[in-house]
Structure 1
Amino acid sequence: MSTEHHMPLSGRVAVVTGASSGLGEATAELLAERGAKVAVLARRADRLAALVERIERRGGTALAVAVDVTDAEAVRGAAERTRAELGTADLLFNNAGVMLAAPITEVRADEWQRMIDLNITGLMNAIGAFVPQLVEAAADRGVADLINTSSIAAQNLFPNFAVYTGSKAFVSHASRNLRTELGAQNVRVSVIEPGIVKTELQGHVDHADSNAWLDDVFASQEVLEPGDIAETVAFLAAQPRRVNFQQVTVMPTFQAN
């Protein structure tokens, strides 16, 4: 087997936000396994340190940057550190997010703001900090990738999840619009809309009806694993530079909507 086939992302510099668990953690490990140098960003420094240790133990290269993506200045600092220590980023998996649920009549404004801050503002902070590097890398190497994590909730209707679904609709539509700006500069923009995935995300939900629904799904159905989404990210990044999958919906086989 050729090195190129075994390590199709060799020479790439990838950045993963929300890397301390779930989709981000699994994706960082897989991208490193496929040859990319990976900067892992999240708030939990201990989890990032353990992740970097695992990657390095397997022969990969990783950099842990403890950062809250809602802090724009801190994310810009993370971008500068990534360039200085790993090189110019040419792949951003923009993944940090939170899912909370409650009937709108409960007026949990603090939870609404938390989702807006992380799922929308945090997403845009990472885009603002790293897109200049993606554009630069694309000019030099012919291609770069911006891959955003949305959700099937961006398309469908889920009671008690109005603000979460709205935030993910922003991610999906913003991604489609970003292609109109960045595609001409050889930066591919993709949005992944997963169905139900087994991650920590569901653990943040504290509304009884929503918890009962999620618990029933996890007890009775085979849902997606984080590694399934990691494989999707790696697949997108390994495409010929002429190929851009604009939107990828990944669903558990059982889930209809």
Structure 2
Amino acid sequence: MTSAPTSLLTGRPLDGRVAVVTGASSGMGAATARRLAELGAAVAVVARRREKLEALAADIASRGGQVLSLPVDVTDRAAVHTAAGQVANTLGPADLVFNNAGVQLISAIDELKVDDWQRQIDLNVTGVMNVIAAFLPHLTAAAEGGKPADLINTSSIAATRILEKYSIYSGTKAYISHLTRLIRVELGPKNVRVSAIEPGMVDTELPNHVTDPDASDMMAGLLRDIECLRDTDIAETVAFITALPRHVNISELTILPTAQAV
């Protein structure tokens, strides 16, 4: 039996907010962009896949949302900085950043799939850092002006679990979780909220990129045997974190399907 979609918030608690969502062309990013717009935020959607991004932007606009589509690869530092300027000029400076772009490429370490290793490091680590570098001035300015300011990084339960063949992916997510803790120490006193979300199994297209048979079978089994998280569950979680009073910061949140054991 599938439960009803998650919906904790009503009304427009995010009116006046300017949100940036990376990895927005599908899955958690697309769902979160839609939900933030429904709750009143102007939303800039960022991803590589132009057609999917433009379809998302059209959908948000058709529902009355204010949206800016930015087809950008977050591993390109200069392009991300240019995008930050476009957001400021079109929607206003961002005060909510969902730093969500990532990739999962699972393999045994002795397979030496070094191109896959590098791709994960480039996107899951360098891409995240590029977004922080481009938008942090927006966030600190918003906080100085008395507005809520949120940086939410997508990590994973793989950051803390010991999972065979996940060494590189888990390493990148461990970096993101600990980075979030460390930069919160610096930014919290400046009234910028910093959060990490560590999801378990989410029913998105991410497992489609997994080519390792063992990992693929494990994910397929979870999707078959239990009710996994949906992208809308993550979207509502992000919305809840950002709709809290300015003095409240959920710094780290692990979210699992109830029936997922590991």
TM-score, normalised by the number of residues in structure 2: 0.95
- Deviation of the 1:128 alpha carbon: 0.2
* Aligned residue in 1 for 2:142: 137
- Deviation of the 1:220 alpha carbon: 1.3
Instruction: Tell me, in whole angstroms, the C-alpha distance in 2 between the residues paired with 1:211 and 1:28.
Output: 28
* Aligned residue in 2 for 1:174: 179
* Aligned residue in 2 for 1:238: 243
1:202 to 207, 226, 230: 207
Instruction: Tell me, in whole angstroms, the C-alpha distance in 1 between the residues paired with 2:135 and 2:126.
Output: 14
1:6 to 5, 11, 16: 11
2:119 to 109, 114, 122: 114
Instruction: Tell me, in whole angstroms, the C-alpha distance in 2 between the residues paired with 1:5 and 1:241.
Output: 18
3-state secondary structure, aligned to 2:145: helix
- Deviation of the 1:5 alpha carbon: 5.5
- Deviation of the 1:219 alpha carbon: 1.3
Post-superposition CA distance 1:107-146 (Å, at most 9, x none): 1000000000000000000000001100011111332000
- Deviation of the 1:200 alpha carbon: 1.2
* Aligned residue in 1 for 2:103: 98
Post-superposition CA distance 1:211-234 (Å, at most 9, x none): 111111111111000000000000
3-state secondary structure, aligned to 2:173: helix
Instruction: Tell me, in whole angstroms, the C-alpha distance in 2 between the residues paired with 1:143 and 1:215.
Output: 40
* Aligned residue in 2 for 1:162: 167
Instruction: Tell me, in whole angstroms, the C-alpha distance in 2 between the residues paired with 1:14 and 1:196.
Output: 25
2:226 to 210, 215, 221: 221
Post-superposition CA distance 1:16-64 (Å, at most 9, x none): 0000000000000000000000000000111111111111111110000
Runs (4+) of structure 1 exceeding 4 A deviation are: none
Work out the number of aligned pairs and report it: 254
* Aligned residue in 2 for 1:186: 191
Instruction: Tell me, in whole angstroms, the C-alpha distance in 1 between the residues paired with 2:103 and 2:242.
Output: 25
* Aligned residue in 1 for 2:3: none
* Aligned residue in 2 for 1:212: 217
Give identity over the alignment, percent: 54
Which structure 1 residue ranges, 5 or more long, are not aligned?
none
TM-score, normalised by the number of residues in structure 1: 0.97
Matches within 5 A, 1:9-88: 9-88=14-93
Which structure 2 residue ranges, 5 or more long, are not aligned?
1-8
